[in-house]
Amino acid sequence: MRWIWVRHGETEDNRSHRYLGHYDAPLNERGKEQALAVADQLKNESITYIYTSDLLRCKETAHIIAQPQGMTVVETAALRELNFGRWDRKTYEEIMQANKSLAEKWYNNPYDVTPPEGESFAKLGDRVGRWLSDLEKRMLPTETAVLVTHGGPIRWFLAARISGNPDAFWSVRGPGTGDILITEKYGQTWRSSSS
């Protein structure tokens, strides 16, 4: 079983280094070019399913990938980015200036501490983890799914399922916009085979 993770292409918020959660930002021109490059890289892959976050930047990326394959894209809110609440579309500097104490607590303990009106990494992990477990049950060992999502869910998967340590979230190297990460399941274990 193979999961090909794709982080959506670039948006203007990504370019300006803003936290981008549930705000529905479109791809910018570079993001569209990145999605086309991913589509070209994956054109010879034998893909069974393409799933995407239901946020616009992922949907745009997924449809560009699906077009040469002639495939249908399945949208799910389970693959959404972390909900940053009132921190959505703010820079690190803006967040630290507005609420340094809470921001430091969140950076030190993101699984228990929640951004204002947002969600914790524990909630993100529950949401993504449940959906992935269901996907594993539905897929055959010979099948491949493309998962178009965001940096947060991919880093959670790398920390929780690849390294076996959810607390490693900040220390795992997450993908950049438009990057691909290929993971494969061997027995009950997921491994990263390439990126």
Provide the annotated active-site residues: 8, 81
Using CA atoms, how far apart are residues 45 and 153, in angstroms rounded to an integer? 23
Name the one residue in this structure whose structure tokens are 């009106």.
Answer: 117
Distance CA 6, CA 66 (A): 12
Return d(Cα 112, Cα 115) in angstroms, integer. 10
Torsion of CA 84, 86, 91, 92, to 10 degrees: -70
Radius of gyration (Cα) for the chain, nearest Å?
Answer: 16
